[in-house]
């Protein structure tokens, strides 16, 4: 049985490109957004409207495409380049990429950078269009140049307001925002302003946002491996570098998910985890007011907006948090048994709990408590010695027991599926 192809036709501005009109006209069906319907009417006034379908609701559009492909080709009209944050990826996965014939147009992102005279090969691109808006600041703040596709929920004003929540008053002046409205159309408009300027305005759809951030004068920050001197803390109360590296390795952090850092202290483990993946939700739980201040200041210093600071004592405050994929217990405040019971009960299948046992009592009790919750347990003992060569003095730290447990119920033993 002969089946057709899907012609992904990119559209820029208010007219269809001449070289695509003939191809669209020969198709059995056309899928188009309501906003582009006037373009189709102008270019193909005689095309049967019974064969034209709107792209929303998307499920109905997919059914229409599948049905029309049985008798011929289908044209799908989309903004700019349909394979760049567009519908092309979905259609390729659903119908097979060999059936896609893509005729891209200039994207709104290209136009925006062209209007500003800025190169765009070094920009970070984010689409918030039709996507959850939580924690997007973490995907923006570490980068000097960011371009964002917006929608009616994630508006330029909402984006600017969210960034203002995460930067200090002094740092807000380091950001410049450019909003491009209806790019490529007669009503095109480009607005340039500060975070405060953009947060107070309303813009026409569709629009995109470019954010430029001045370089920060804090030296080169490593991707991983912050030193104790880099992280704000008090009286040496910080997970030592060598132990922190072992903890992060033991946690096997997922690219996305929920991480509880219980007894977070200065937030050193939270910061390292958050910076490794800006799609990871990190909850730093701490009861000490001085340490809470350190966490908040470290969060801003290292642009880790995906850290949410939870002030209070575990296990009580854990009830308000989403179920975790990973848990680190750096301090328990005498509530170890209760904390591990709650954490193990809430832990997702394939998840891990890592306990940093400084005290002998914790090292003795934690393995049994975790085993009693049905978790598989391994124990590593870490002794750290430091010497600054060629000085003869050696610094020795108290041994640490790292108790690593995994919830294997519900997944096949020996697989790595829930890690990556």
Arithmetic mean of pLDDT, 239-259: 96
Residue 321 has pLDDT above 60, yes or no: yes
For the cut 50, the answer to whether the pLDDT of residue 5 exceeds it is: yes
For the chain, the straight-line distance linking the first and the last C-alpha, in angstroms and rounded, comes to 40
Q: How far apart are CA 279 and CA 248, in angstroms?
A: 16
Q: How far is CA 371 from CA 235, 337, 340, 366, in A?
A: 34, 12, 10, 9
Looking at residue 132, what is its pLDDT?
66
The predicted structure's pLDDT at residue 410: 53
For residue 173, give every residue at least 6 positions away whose Cβ sits within 8 Å of its Cβ, in sequence order, or none. Answer: 194
Identify the pLDDT of residue 168: 86
What's the pLDDT at 416? 36
pLDDT > 60? residue 419: no
How far is Cα 149 from Cα 209, in angstroms, rounded to an integer?
7
Banded pLDDT at 409 (limits 50, 70, 90): low
116: left (phi > 0), else alpha (psi -120 to 50), else beta?
alpha
Backbone dihedral region for residue 257 (phi beyond 0: left; psi -120 to 50: alpha; all else: beta):
left
Strands of 273-409 (E only): list them: 280-286, 307-311, 326-329, 352-357, 376-382, 385-387, 394-396, 400-406
Q: What's the pLDDT score for residue 415? A: 37
Which element (helix H / strand E) includes 272?
helix 268-276
Mean pLDDT of 368-392: 93
Supply the pTM of this predicted model: 0.84
* Beta-strand pair 74-79/29-32: parallel
The full DSSP string for 170-214 is TTGGGEEEEEEESTTSTT-EEEEE-HHHHHT---PSSEEEEEEEP
Helices 336-346 and 360-372: crossing angle, nearest 10°?
A: 30
Please answer whether residues 26 and 52 qualify as being in contact, where contact means their C-beta atoms are separated by less than 8 angstroms. no
Model pLDDT, residue 104: 94
**The pLDDT of residue 361:** 94
Are 147 and 208 within 8 A, CB to CB? yes
pLDDT exceeds cutoff 90 at 170: no
Nearest to 157 by CA among 120, 132, 191: 191
Note the pLDDT of residue 219. Answer: 61
Give the tens place of pLDDT for each residue, 259-281. Answer: 999 999 999 999 999 999 999 99
pLDDT of the residue at 413: 43
For 350, list phi and psi in degrees, rounded to 5.
85, -5
Categorize the per-residue pLDDT at 218 as very low, low, confident or very high, splitting at 50, 70 and 90: low
Mean residue pLDDT across the chain? 92
pLDDT higher than 70, residue 31: yes
List pLDDT tens digits, range 88-133: 999 999 999 999 999 999 999 999 999 999 999 999 999 998 776 6
Q: Which of 32-46, 323-337, 401-415 has the lowest mean pLDDT?
A: 401-415
Give the pLDDT of residue 29.
97
* Separation of alpha carbons 268 and 256, rounded Å: 19
């Amino acid at each position: 049985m002969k089946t057709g192809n899907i012609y992904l036709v990119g559209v820029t501005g208010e007219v269809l490109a001449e070289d695509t009109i003939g191809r669209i006209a020969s198709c059995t069906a056309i899928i188009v957004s309501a906003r582009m319907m006037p373009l189709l009417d102008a270019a193909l006034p005689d095309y049967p409207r019974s064969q034209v379908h709107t792209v929303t609701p998307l499920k109905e559009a997919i059914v229409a495409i599948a049905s029309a492909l049985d008798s011929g080709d289908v044209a799908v009209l989309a903004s700019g380049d349909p394979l760049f944050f567009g519908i092309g990826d979905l259609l390729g996965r659903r119908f097979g990429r060999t059936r896609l014939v893509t005729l891209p147009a200039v994207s709104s992102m290209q136009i925006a950078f062209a209007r500003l005279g800025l190169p765009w090969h070094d920009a970070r691109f984010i689409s918030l269009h039709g996507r959850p808006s939580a924690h997007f600041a973490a995907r923006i703040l570490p980068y000097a140049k960011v371009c964002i596709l917006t929608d009616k929920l994630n508006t330029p004003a909402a984006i600017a307001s969210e960034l203002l929540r995460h930067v200090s008053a002094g740092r807000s002046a380091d950001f410049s925002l450019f909003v491009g409205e209806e790019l490529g159309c007669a009503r095109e408009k480009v607005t340039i302003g500060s975070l405060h300027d953009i947060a107070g305005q309303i813009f026409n759809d569709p629009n995109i946002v470019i954010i430029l951030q001045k370089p920060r004068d804090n030296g080169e920050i490593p991707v991983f491996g912050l030193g104790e001197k880099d992280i704000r803390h008090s009286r040496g109360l910080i997970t030592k570098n060598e132990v922190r590296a072992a903890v992060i390795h033991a946690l096997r952090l997922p690219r996305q998910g929920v991480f509880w850092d219980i007894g977070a202290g200065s937030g050193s483990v939270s910061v390292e985890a958050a910076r490794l993946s800006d799609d990871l939700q990190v909850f730093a739980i701490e009861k000490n007011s001085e340490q809470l201040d350190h966490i908040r200041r470290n969060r801003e210093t290292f642009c880790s907006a995906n850290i949410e600071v939870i002030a209070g004592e575990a296990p009580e405050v854990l009830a308000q948090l989403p179920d975790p994929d990973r848990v680190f217990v750096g301090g328990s405040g005498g509530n170890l048994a209760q904390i591990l019971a709650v954490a193990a009960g809430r832990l997702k299948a394939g998840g891990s709990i890592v306990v940093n046992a400084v005290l002998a009592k914790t090292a003795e009790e934690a393995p049994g408590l975790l085993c009693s919750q049905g978790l598989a347990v391994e124990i590593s003992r870490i002794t750290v010695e430091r010497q600054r060569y060629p000085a003869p003095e050696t610094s020795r730290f108290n041994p640490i027991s790292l108790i690593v447990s995994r919830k294997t119920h519900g997944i096949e033993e020996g697989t790595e599926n829930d890690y990556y």
